[in-house]
Structure 1
Amino acid sequence: MEKPLILVTNDDGITAPGIRNLVEFMNEIGEVIVVAPNSPQSGKGHAITINSTLSYEEVHLDGPQRDFSCSGTPVDCVKMALDKILPRRPDIVVSGINHGANSSINVIYSGTMSAAVEGGVEGLPSIGFSLLDFSWEADFTQAKEYIQRIVKKVIENPMPKGVVLNVNIPKLTKEEIKGVKICKQANAKWEESFDERINPHGKKYYWLTGYFNNMDESEDADETALANGYISIVPVKFDLTAYEYMNELNEIMKFDKTS
């Protein structure tokens, strides 16, 4: 039987430890092709390159997979892979492993998750993986078994069109991780401000600062699961329509043609 074709990408760059670990894990499941940014692209969300050219090149890294370094964003990487690089449509798109959380509101800003969402837009099963550890020396192996089992289950059990999975892993040892919980996106946000400073030439510049405010203590929220030692899985839809508000909005927006 033909091995599943797995497209691996990320937003931390093609040489980041997170993606190299993910590639190693995926090599045990199927045929792997990596198309990832040639430099860090964190926080780029669903950005695409439209005002400059794109390029890619094959690079030779450890392992049996093929690796391609792309000059664009994570979403560019998925688009380029599907149109120019892959020999056929992949069986699954796997993005990560991100250095740092992409739980709750972070899913909006995340390049990791946007790459997975782009796979979903193309009708492909897609998963974004993130570890709650920003360190370049983070240990990704403690979640290897969970990551592989999640990927296998998605390959074997097709998800509804338009749904992708946002998987976040707590910074714990393999023994400390309690299991997996299916969750909702927590009601949380960043309370931000810009720190104003003056450069040696007297010109103002700014650093974005702030803190994370979790306003959701419900048991089924991803932040709650992570705080209690569980891997959180949130099914994410890229259809942003607020269906529950459509009828009310329709009444509000009724206009008299003569008014």
Structure 2
Amino acid sequence: MAPLTPQSATGHGITYQDPLMVSHAEVPTEMDGIAVDGRPADCVKLAIASLWEERFGRGSRPDLVISGMNAGANCGINVIYSGTVAAAIEAAFLGIGSIAVSLHLGRGKPRFDVAAWHARRTIERLLAGGSIGAHTCLNVNIPRCEEAEWVAPSPDTTFQSRTGQSVGTDLEESLEIEVCPMNTHGIIDRFERRESPAGQGVLLGGGGGLDFHATDEGTDVERMMARRITVTPLQFDLTDHMGLHLWRSRLGGG
């Protein structure tokens, strides 16, 4: 299940009063595709509250929700804006463990089949000890996998992609997995001033975004740029628990 249209930077928005249109989508796998004319979080809400039970029986729930793979990294402060991450957080909020997966894009042609192989191996390792937990959300970012970097390995370490092309797995050793916190700065905002035909001032956002080089050591952005697969546990509780005592004291609450 996925949104019908691109939903980059839509965050955790949901469709509140408008109807959600659902349609069948052709996907090049044996699975059925469902397109939802809504936000990523809408897809998860709709699936868990309605469509999953229609397909698999009343009272049933998925064991795990995987959101992605997104075309573009969702690390650092971009986590706040990400629709991909929002879908995973929505699942965790509803009591189902979830993993968001994103691929960092560069100038070369991305190899999503290679990235998918790394994503699968990462998820298998995350699940090796059992369920990740009902309210757990893990954010996974995979460094660039591009055709220019790809070197075919020996035949005994390949698998078949959806297109039938043999896809090597020799990047496995070079892409270590690291658990790390999210980077919390490095956003660059740029706006270009234009004028509409009616004479109104218009500001177009462009050329900005996450500065992948303004990072703190050991954070998800820095480790991903060092070609590590990063795993960051996220939570939907936005309470500043360390600040509770401070503000209670200031207000005389002890």
TM-score by length of 1: 0.77
The aligned runs of 1:82-121 (5 Å cut-off) are 82-86=48-52, 87=56, 88-121=60-93
Range that drifts further, 144-153 or 95-104? 144-153
Query: Which residue of structure 2 aligns with residue 158 of structure 1?
Result: 131
**Offset, 1:111:** 0.1
In 1, the alpha carbon distance for the partners of 2:109 and 2:197 equals: 35
SS at match of 1:101: coil
Describe the superposition over 1:16-48 as per-residue Cα deviations: whole angstroms up to 9, x where unpaired: xxxxxxxxxxxxxxxxxxx11111111111100
The AA in structure 2 aligned to 1:47 is G
**Offset, 1:201:** 3.2
Unaligned segments of structure 2, at least 5 residues: 150-169
Distance 1:201 1:58, change over 3 A: same
The answer to whether 1:50 aligns with 2:16 is yes
Residue of 197, 200, 209 corresponding to 1:200: 197
**Offset, 1:225:** 0.7
The aligned runs of 1:125-136 (5 Å cut-off) are 125-133=97-105
Query: Which residue of structure 2 aligns with residue 64 of structure 1?
Result: 30
Q: Tell me the percent identity.
A: 30
The aligned runs of 1:1-259 (5 Å cut-off) are 35-86=1-52, 87=56, 88-133=60-105, 137-156=109-128, 157-172=130-145, 173=149, 175=171, 177-209=174-206, 210-213=208-211, 215-218=214-217, 220-254=218-252
In 2, the alpha carbon distance for the partners of 1:84 and 1:58 equals: 16
SS at match of 1:152: helix
Describe the superposition over 1:92-132 as per-residue Cα deviations: whole angstroms up to 9, x where unpaired: 11111111110010000000000010110111110111111
In 2, the alpha carbon distance for the partners of 1:181 and 1:155 equals: 15
**Offset, 1:211:** 4.8
Unaligned segments of structure 1, at least 5 residues: 1-34
TM-score by length of 2: 0.79
The AA in structure 1 aligned to 2:33 is D
**Offset, 1:195:** 1.9
Tell me the number of residue pairs that the alignment of Structure 1 and Structure 2 aligns: 220
Range that drifts further, 54-63 or 136-145? 136-145
SS at match of 1:188: coil
The AA in structure 2 aligned to 1:195 is E
Displaced runs of 4 or more, over 6 A: none
Range that drifts further, 160-169 or 134-143? 134-143
Question: 2:122, 2:177 within 8 Å by CA — same for their partners in 1?
Answer: no
**Offset, 1:154:** 4.2
Distance 1:134 1:67, change over 3 A: farther
Question: 1:183, 1:221 within 8 Å by CA — same for their partners in 2?
Answer: yes
In 2, the alpha carbon distance for the partners of 1:138 and 1:230 equals: 17
